């Protein structure tokens, strides 16, 4: 039984084997209606709880569809409607859920909630986003890069904007998959130091560059995300927009990257804030492939967690 809590706490070999499994499952389903089961039904007879303490479109639907394609069943639970949101401890919730279900996916606020769930559950726990990280997203993003351009190892990835949870998982992935990573954004919104240290210790280059036009020179992949995350206070919005306006990914910025550079955004996007519609819908963009690949990557993650 394995938990999938973060990219940096999962071995590089296991991440690579999940990536291979995701590609294989996607290929095996090519042109098949989405509601049909996979040939392989490893989750047959298994029940998966999907807990959301924050909103979600992609994570919710891709996990739900993925479990069903693998032959399992799901229940989608909103944190607010559970006793968890009304004072029951995380530890007790974990112990109880483990008596009913075979796997727990949770999207929550504090990382500590996820860690406690994993500590007290006797079934695997998957991180579906915390304030700190979003590992399932980055599994889909690495898969998407490699499906379009081949191995990501040795490539240059540039993140423009807020050094948030998705950015942190990208930096973990730089260390584990062996690519260089440049953050371009204001100093106050730089990504966390421990993630940077982790990746540097793995031998990749992690660079901070205040100048977006300079940062994207030679980029193989340009990535951004919302300027205000779900856990950020609404009051931060105006200041963030003022701080980040200069880091918008637009056609002028993309033109500084390599001609065949890809553009990614985990979505949901605020079009014409962090990225223009011309870029989102333009020739470099693979944003909807990323969204699709959540499905395939997470199926691989669930199989790995359950040893199936």
Per CB under 6 A, the list member of 225, 286, 291, 301 interacting with ligand NVA is 225
User: With CB under 6 A, what is the number of residues at the site for ligand CP?
Assistant: 9
- Using the minimum distance from each CB to ligand CP, give the nearer residue, 60 or 200: 60
- Interface with ligand NVA by CB under 6 A: which range of 34-42, 141-149, 223-231, 244-252? 223-231
Radius of gyration, CA atoms only, the chain: 19
Which among ligand CP, ligand NVA, none contacts residue 229 (Cβ within 5 to 8 A by kind)?
ligand NVA
CA–CA separation, 52 and 275 (whole Å): 27
Residue 64 φ then ψ, to 5°: -60, -50
Catalytic status, residue 137? yes
CA distance 302 to 277: 34
Q: Which 227-266 residues touch ligand NVA, going by CB under 6 A?
A: 229-230, 266
Catalytic, 294? Answer yes
- Is 306 near ligand NVA (CB under 6 A)? no
Catalytic residue among 294, 296, 303, 305: 294
Site for ligand NVA in 114-143 (CB under 6 A): 129
- Is 56 a binder of ligand CP (CB under 6 A)? yes
CB 272 within 8 A of CB 256: no
Q: Residues 144, 147, 153, 156: is their CA dihedral positive or negative?
A: negative
Taking alpha carbons only, the member of 78, 77, 63 closest to residue 136 is 63
Q: Nearest approach, Cβ of 57 to ligand CP (angstroms)?
A: 4
Instruction: Tell me the C-alpha distance between 167 and 165, whole Å.
Output: 5
Minimal distance, residue 59 CB to ligand NVA, in Å: 7
């Amino acid at each position: 039984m394995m938990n999938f809590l973060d990219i940096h706490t999962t071995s590089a070999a296991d991440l690579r084997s999940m990536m291979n499994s995701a590609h294989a499952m996607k290929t095996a389903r090519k042109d098949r209606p989405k509601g049909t089961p996979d040939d392989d039904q490893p989750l047959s007879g298994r029940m998966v709880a999907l807990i959301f303490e924050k909103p979600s479109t992609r994570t919710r639907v891709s996990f739900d569809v993925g479990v069903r394609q693998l032959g399992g069943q799901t229940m989608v639970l909103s944190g607010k409607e559970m006793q968890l949101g009304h004072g029951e401890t995380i530890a007790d919730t974990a112990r109880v859920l483990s008596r009913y279900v075979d796997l727990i996916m949770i999207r929550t606020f504090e990382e500590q909630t996820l860690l406690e769930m994993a500590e007290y559950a006797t079934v695997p726990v998957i991180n579906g986003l915390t304030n700190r990280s979003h590992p399932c997203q980055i599994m889909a993003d690495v898969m998407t890069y490699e499906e379009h351009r081949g191995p990501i190892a040795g490539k240059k990835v540039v993140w423009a904007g807020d050094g948030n949870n998705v950015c942190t998982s990208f930096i973990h992935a730089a260390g584990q998959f062996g690519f260089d990573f440049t953050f371009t954004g204001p100093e106050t919104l730089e990504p966390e130091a421990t993630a940077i240290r982790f990746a540097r210790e793995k031998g990749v280059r992690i660079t901070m560059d205040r100048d977006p036009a300079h940062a994207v020179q030679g980029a193989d992949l340009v990535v951004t995300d919302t300027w205000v995350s779900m856990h950020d206070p609404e009051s931060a919005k105006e200041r963030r927009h003022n701080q980040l306006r200069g880091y918008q990914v637009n056609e002028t910025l993309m033109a500084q990257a390599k001609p065949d550079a890809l553009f990614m955004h985990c979505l949901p996007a605020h079009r014409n804030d962090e990225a223009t519609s011309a870029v989102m819908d333009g020739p470099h963009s693979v944003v909807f492939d990323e969204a699709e690949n959540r499905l395939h990557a997470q199926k691989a993650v669930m199989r790995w967690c359950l040893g199936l």
